[in-house]
Amino acid sequence: MKRLLPVLACSATLLLAACSQGNSVPVAQAAAPESDTGGSRHGDFGPPQGEPIKAVLTSPPNVPPATQRNYPAKVIVELEVTEVDMQIADGVTYTFWTFGGTVPGSFIRVRQGDTVEFHLKNHPSSKMPHNIDLHGVTGPGGGAASSFTAPGHSSQFTFKALNQGLYVYHCATAPVGMHVANGMYGLILVEPPEGLSPVDHEFYVMQGDFYTVGKYREKGHQPFDMQKAIDENPTYVLFNGAESALTGPRALKTQTNQKVRMFVGNGGPNLVSSFHVIGEIFDKVQYEGGTRFQENVQTTLIPAGGAATVEFHTEVPGNYVLVDHSIFRAFNKGALAILEVAGEQRADIYSGKQLDEMYIGDKMASMAPVAEAVKASSTGQLTKEQQIQAGAVLFKGTCSTCHQDTGQGIPNVFPPLAKSDFLLADKNRAIGIVMNGLSGPVTVNGATYNSVMPPMSQLNDDEIANILTYALNSWGNKDGTVSVEDVKKVRANTKRPEGAAH
Amino acid sequence: MRKLMLALLLATSAANAAAAEQSATTVIPGGKFESVLPPAPGVKEVSLKPFQLDRRPVTNAQFATFLKTQPQWRRDKIAHIFADDQYLSHWQSPAEPRKEDLQRPVVNVSWFAATAYCESRGARLPTWYEWEYVAAASNTARDGRDDPAWRQQILNWYSRSGRDALPTVGSTPANFYGIQDLHGVIWEWVEDASGMLVSSDNREQGDPNVMRFCGEGALTMEQKENYATLMRIAMLSSMKARYTGGAMGFRCATGGRDGK
């Protein structure tokens, strides 16, 4: 029935427009169902019924069970504010100000129309007074003024949850930015009267930005940096308040063929999140308290002080990475979380890697000379000319990207091989460089280059010998050969880094 | 009555020479400054007469001495309207602090008790403006509030959990005026803590509720980047006069505004 409403509403609106010039307008209006669900105007289901219920609060990433109620109740919420030192990154601690001892704070779940009796307790060890502004409250300050609480005290206020939806709550004590930056936010879900559709897993994830005096991952206890916060230049952007909150052993876990629902909030204080799960598409996204949903969403915007409910179905096993797709935040500031999906492979949906081979694009050349050289080498009849021809093919596939087909390199970036004093000076050094790579400054023909050449671990000794023989006899170079024995000698004298191939 | 108490205190002052020594005061020259709380709309500066201020916060030892002469302020005797249940709860007995706390600032004291202590010395709590004026000084400058390094140093106290033991008084460097421990140790009661923010007849300060939540506070307060001071105000405004706190202490002042 609910799904039908928007359709009906649309046709009624059209009808209304079509008739607006006639005198039947009042009739059409009287017949038109409302195009919305009524919001707070329709959220009051009368006085609370039954015995008061103590709300189940959960720590992230857990979500309390559904209320499973079909009547409005009085729900008692007891939330304790504590100021605690916790790890924000490996070896880095921070004094978080918390609702319930965690960042984000405890998840609260009530039903639309419930009367919520809210008790805010401020632990005696707190340095600061605190309060709470719940975005799900209708009333000035969202409860902030009524819940202002000194350390070692508690306050109480009551509100009726008139609007359904997923709402952020946060501390609103001066200086509010600092209270929020220290982790004082969480989510309250006001279920629609009919409840949410059943799913297999519900998770609670909330993004926040953090400002420390020390740099990202600088060890030790890090104080809050006010100037960075004002400049909106966070040191960390995190899901659930710590870099390792949802990774490794603490990763979110589910199986294939499950319906997953995530309640995703953004505490800010400053940044807007481009929330994305790598390798998944959200089948449904409901913004804030929306009664409609958007489908097939890749990335959804979650404003600071806002939230969205995302749902998707798992098909393919593996690790799915939750990120803020403002992507430097993910890889340089910590905005990463992992969802582990266990189950049977589904190669019909996603194959995994099926092929990994050299791609040499339009430089495609016959590999015949290479095969010919290998054959000749095995019988001890390899000629210098064969080496050069095989080396030319291999050079194009392996070396020319940087050193160029002409052997000229790229000025200031990749050194030349053509008439290179560095190359020609020492055959064994050249073998070693191909084998092991080279990084740091070198002087070639009077110019300094400071880049990185990775080890060409994929090349075997024949291939290295042929490539270098080609290089020593091309672009004006006329100097000798490199034999496979030369290469073997260098390899025997080279200490291979651990884990390197060959 | 008050005069009588003062006389009593003077009579015993010789015995308390050591304690009296610690409550050494410093003369603060008068002057003008810009408070984060403008005294009236459109008025920026606050004028202060010279006054004397305790160099250090009042210690548990000093407060214990006070309770010997005025036992009605002991935790087992105090009237419920003057203090909450946490009052002096960190002491080992109603009359005695723990030994390790003797030279630490007394905390878990209500505004009423702090006021009574200062009156017993013929003094009073400093006003907010007096406190803010002296606390604006850095270690080297009369007004260090624009110095980002100084501001950050003050803020760092808030980046530490309140579960750590308090330091003994005098553990922080003297500021420009020679006053210690204004930052980084405890919160401090001021004379007009309740009148300033919670319920006041003083119309000049506008809506007495403005500070009770930051959305509005941010509109009216000056120096919005002065987080350390804003937090002081938030803290004081959360406290009722009978409330106590594990990091809430005080120091006394004399002279100044009414020549007391």
Residue-by-residue DSSP string for A126-155? -SS-B--EETT--SGGGGTGGG-B-TTEEE
- Degrees to nearest 5, angle at CA B110 with B107 and B112: 135
Domain boundaries, chain B: 27-255
The answer, yes or no, to whether the previous bond of A61 is cis (omega within 30 of 0) is: yes
CA–CA–CA angle B240, B241, B245 (5° rounding) = 75
Contacts of A178 in chain B (CB under 8 A): 158, 227, 231
- Which residues lie below 8 Å from residue B31, measured CB to CB, with a gap of 6+? B47, B48, B133, B142
Based on DSSP, count helices (H) and strands (E) in chain A, helices before strands: 12, 23
Q: What is the pLDDT of residue A359?
A: 64
In chain A, which residues have pLDDT < 50? 1-31, 363-364, 498-502
Convert the pLDDT of each residue in B99-109 to its tens digit.
999 999 999 99
C-alpha distance from A68 to closest chain B C-alpha (Å):
36
Q: How confident is residue B221, by pLDDT bands cut at 50, 70 and 90?
A: low
In this prediction, residues B111-122 reach a mean pLDDT of 96
Which residues from chain A sit within 8 angstroms of residue B86, using beta carbons?
Answer: 124, 152
**A302 is written with which tokens?**
């979650």
Of the candidates B155, B240, B245, the beta carbon closest to that of A223 is on B155
Indicate the range of A479-493, B90-104, B122-136 predicted with least confidence. Answer: A479-493
Choose between B165 and B58: higher pLDDT.
B58
Please give the pLDDT value at position A34.
59
pLDDT of B195:
59
CB contact under 8 A, A153 and B221: no
Q: What pLDDT is recorded for position B226? A: 76
CB A74 within 8 A of CB A53: yes
Q: Is the predicted pLDDT of residue B220 greater than 60, yes or no?
A: no
pLDDT (0 to 100) of residue A456: 84
* Percentage with pLDDT > 90 across chain B: 55
- Give the amino acid at B156: N
Confidence category of residue B196, pLDDT binned at 50, 70, 90:
low
> CA of A230: which chain B residue's CA is closest?
B225
**CA torsion through residues B35, B41, B47, B52, sign:** negative
Q: What is the pLDDT of residue B223?
A: 64
> A444 vs B210, which has greater pLDDT?
A444
Chain segment A272-283, per-residue pLDDT in tens:
999 999 999 999
- Average pLDDT, whole number, for chain B? 81
Interface size between A and B, measured as CB pairs under 8 A: 116
**pLDDT at position B213:** 39
pLDDT digits (tens, 9 = 90+) for A289-338: 899 999 999 999 999 999 999 999 999 999 999 999 999 999 899 999 99
Please check the confidence at residue B181 and state whether its pLDDT lies above 50: yes
Confidence of residue B245 (pLDDT cuts 50, 70, 90): very high
Please say whether the beta carbons of B23 and B77 come within 8 A: no
Confidence of residue B11 (pLDDT cuts 50, 70, 90): very low
Query: What is the CA angle A458-A461-A467, rounded to 5?
Result: 80
The pLDDT of residue A232:
97
- The pLDDT assigned to A413 comes to 82
What is the DSSP-derived secondary structure letter of residue A304? T
User: Average pLDDT in the B243-251 region?
Assistant: 94
Contacts of A176 in chain B (CB under 8 A): 214-215, 218
Could you tell me the two tokens for B176? Answer: 């420009």
Higher pLDDT, A26 or B59: B59
- What would the CATH number be for the domain defined by B27-255? 3.90.1580.10
* Residue corresponding to tokens 């200031």: A412
Task: For A16-150, list the strands marked E by DSSP.
Answer: 53-54, 74-89, 92-99, 108-111, 115-122, 133-134
| Nearest-CB residue to A150 (from B155, B158, B238) | B238
User: In B, which residues are within 8 Å of A222 by CB distance?
Assistant: 159
Res. B116: pLDDT tops 90: yes
The model's confidence at residue B200, banded by pLDDT at 50, 70 and 90, is very low
- Rounded CA-CA distance B218/B223 in Å is 10
Q: Give the residue from chain A lying closest to B227, CA to CA.
A: A175
Look at residue B249 and tell me whether its pLDDT is greater than 70: yes
Chain A residue closest to B212 (CA)?
A145
pTM, two decimal places: 0.72
Give whole-number Cα distances, A342 to A60, A85, A254, A256, A259, in Å: 21, 34, 6, 6, 13
Q: What is the pLDDT of residues B166-176, one digit of tens each?
A: 999 999 999 99
* Cβ-proximal residues to A217 (8 Å cutoff; 6+ apart), any chain: A89, A90, A91, A92
Q: Using alpha carbons only, what angle is made at residue B121 by residues B118 and B126, rounded to the nearest 5 degrees?
A: 35
